[in-house]
């Protein structure tokens, strides 16, 4: 049996990555795990995020996967080195693809990064960008309220604009031409972020780049599916399915089928 | 050795109850558990909230407690009957004390309730109020964004006022004279809620009533401490201590000492 691509996230935001994988690699089977019982990760400590991420990895490994995508910026920022250290399977995070794209996109060498508090405090994006080009200046800002606003479906409300203004004001004076949306929820706020930062600032949403990276790794490792039949998708969540399915279709862009509950802890 | 009062919450909000317990029962030892690794509960399912609440109860039982206070509105709303069904120890929730106080306070028989989505969807406050006096009309409203606003320390920001206005607008037309703050975070938003609902609406924050209820139960069961020495307090959290201690003092009204990390899952 062909092995699947495993994807995990703290919750449902990682479905934006699944959406791009379905487009780019339509013949690959996918197993998704969303840790909806313990979401969010972005306000928690490094140690806890690593523990949860290792458990999620272990869950996916038992589902017969050939590669694991950490489709969560917080997990990728804090847990990726530890996951890679312990497991043999290829692991792909979302930080490097986003950082690469930002380095490629910026003309003036001034890049902004927004994300959860844990992601921003980790300095992960800044490190990757500096490793790729150490002349680039990076300006970071945590935006903890963006996730609740997306989950509350207030993205078109004036409150979203006020909140975005409050967080982004410090970045507006920095003359950045590129802004990394370092959390899978943030692309849903693109119109508000554009309205505040101006159309001249390019917004980097790494989901497409992550899918490209997955394709590269599968080719390199000789793991691309030779299957031409319709691929399968399985979705697992740690909290009740009903709670998850409601919001999930906004991220995936289509209705979810075959969602099952699975306990990791 | 004297047994302690055990208190648990999904996170740190339950410290508002500890604060009142320390005032009313200064000679009682207290063991607190905050499930900061899995916080919040209010957006999660009944089944998950029950599972976590049972695990928290089990944790406190191993700390030699004589009574357990479920200092979390979401846990109290959804898990209290199941906890009581399984464990012999007296269990005190926050719903009945708040409901009693509201029934006592209302003059016109029109009471509002605000809380997390899980608390409001459970209908727990409405049921308790109706059981006490079935002529009272109850109007409920979930306010999911209030917790992130308190945790982000934006209670004095205009955004808090906008958000409060958005949630409370449907309650303003209902001619209520009493409003239950059905989440331990909400008392920190009292000034904004007062500004919108008007001074004529009495805000019920059940922490004081819960402390009274604990005292009653300890007297009834012959469990009041005979100790006149200074009592002890132990605080346990499931995520890193540093993350917890920062915000916790705002709820407790004093600096926390002796906070330890403890894994429940």
Please tell me whether residues B67 and B119 are part of one structural domain.
no
Please tell me whether residues B113 and B195 are part of one structural domain.
yes
Please tell me whether residues B184 and B244 are part of one structural domain.
no
Q: List the pLDDT tens digit at each of the 265 positions of chain A.
A: 689 999 999 999 999 999 999 999 999 999 999 999 999 999 999 999 999 999 999 999 999 999 999 999 999 999 999 999 999 999 999 999 999 999 999 999 999 999 999 999 999 999 999 999 999 999 999 999 999 999 999 999 999 999 999 999 999 999 999 999 999 999 999 999 999 999 999 999 989 999 999 999 999 999 999 877 788 999 999 998 887 777 788 888 888 888 899 876 5
Q: What is the ipTM of this complex?
A: 0.90
Residue (of B63, B75, B61) closest to B10 by Cα position:
B75
Please tell me whether residues A107 and A83 are part of one structural domain.
no
Please tell me whether residues B109 and B171 are part of one structural domain.
yes
Structural domain tally of chain A?
Answer: 2
Cβ-nearest to B47 among A43, A45, A240: A240
CB within 8 Å of chain A, chain B residues 171-210: none
pLDDT at residue B258 above 90? no
Residue B265 annotated as catalytic? no
Find the mean pLDDT for residues B212-228: 93
Please tell me whether residues A201 and A236 are part of one structural domain.
no
Residue (of B232, B37, B85) closest to A238 by Cα position:
B37
By annotation, the residues of A acting in catalysis are 72, 183
> Whole-angstrom Cα distance, residue A172 to residue A145?
18
Collect all residues of chain B within an 8 Å Cβ-Cβ radius of residue A144. 148, 151-152
- Cβ distance B159 to A149 less than 8 Å, yes or no, reads no
B118 Cβ neighbours under 8 A, 6+ residues apart: B41, B42, B43, B44, B45, B46, B49, B74, B77, B78
CA distances from A57 to A235, A240, B132 (A): 14, 20, 50
- Point out the domain boundary residue: A158, A182, A205: A205
Share the mean pLDDT of chain B.
94
- Point out the domain boundary residue: B205, B220, B247: B205
Please tell me whether residues A230 and A141 are part of one structural domain.
no
Please tell me whether residues B214 and B153 are part of one structural domain.
no
Q: What is the CATH number of the domain that holds A245?
A: 3.40.50.1860
What is the span of the domain harbouring residue A162? 95-205
Collect all residues of chain A within an 8 Å Cβ-Cβ radius of residue B265. 265
Q: Which residue of A has its CA nearest to B38?
A: A38
Collect all residues of chain A within an 8 Å Cβ-Cβ radius of residue B166. 157, 159
Please tell me whether residues A109 and A182 are part of one structural domain.
yes
Please tell me whether residues B20 and B78 are part of one structural domain.
yes
- Cβ distance A162 to B158 less than 8 Å, yes or no, reads yes
- Point out the domain boundary residue: B187, B205, B223: B205
Please tell me whether residues A102 and A165 are part of one structural domain.
yes
Tally of residues, chain A? 265
Q: For position B264, what pLDDT does the model report?
A: 64
Please tell me whether residues B77 and B23 are part of one structural domain.
yes
């Amino acid at each position: 049996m062909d092995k699947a691509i495993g994807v995990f996230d703290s919750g449902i935001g990682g479905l934006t990555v699944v959406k791009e994988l379905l487009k780019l690699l339509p013949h690959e089977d996918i197993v998704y795990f969303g840790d909806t019982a313990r979401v969010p990760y972005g306000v928690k400590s490094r140690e806890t995020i690593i523990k949860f991420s290792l458990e999620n990895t272990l869950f996916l490994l038992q589902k017969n996967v050939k590669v694991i995508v950490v489709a969560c910026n917080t997990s990728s920022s804090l847990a990726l080195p530890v996951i890679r250290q312990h497991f043999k399977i290829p692991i792909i995070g979302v930080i490097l693809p986003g950082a690469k794209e930002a380095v490629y996109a910026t003309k003036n060498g001034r890049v902004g990064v927004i994300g959860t508090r844990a992601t921003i405090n980790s300095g992960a994006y800044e490190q990757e960008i500096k490793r790729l080009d150490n002349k680039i200046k990076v300006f970071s800002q945590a935006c903890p309220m963006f996730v609740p606003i997306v989950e509350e479906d207030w993205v078109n409300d004036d409150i979203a604009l006020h909140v975005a203004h409050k967080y982004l004001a410090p970045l507006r004076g920095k003359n950045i031409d590129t802004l990394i949306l370092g959390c899978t929820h943030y692309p849903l706020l693109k119109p508000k972020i554009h309205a505040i930062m101006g159309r001249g600032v390019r917004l980097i949403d790494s989901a497409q780049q992550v899918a490209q990276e997955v394709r590269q790794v599968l080719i390199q490792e000789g793991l691309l599916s030779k299957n031409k039949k319709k691929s399968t998708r399985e979705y697992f969540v740690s909290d009740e399915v009903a709670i998850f399915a409601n919001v999930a279709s906004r991220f995936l862009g289509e209705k979810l089928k075959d969602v099952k509950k699975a306990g990791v802890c």
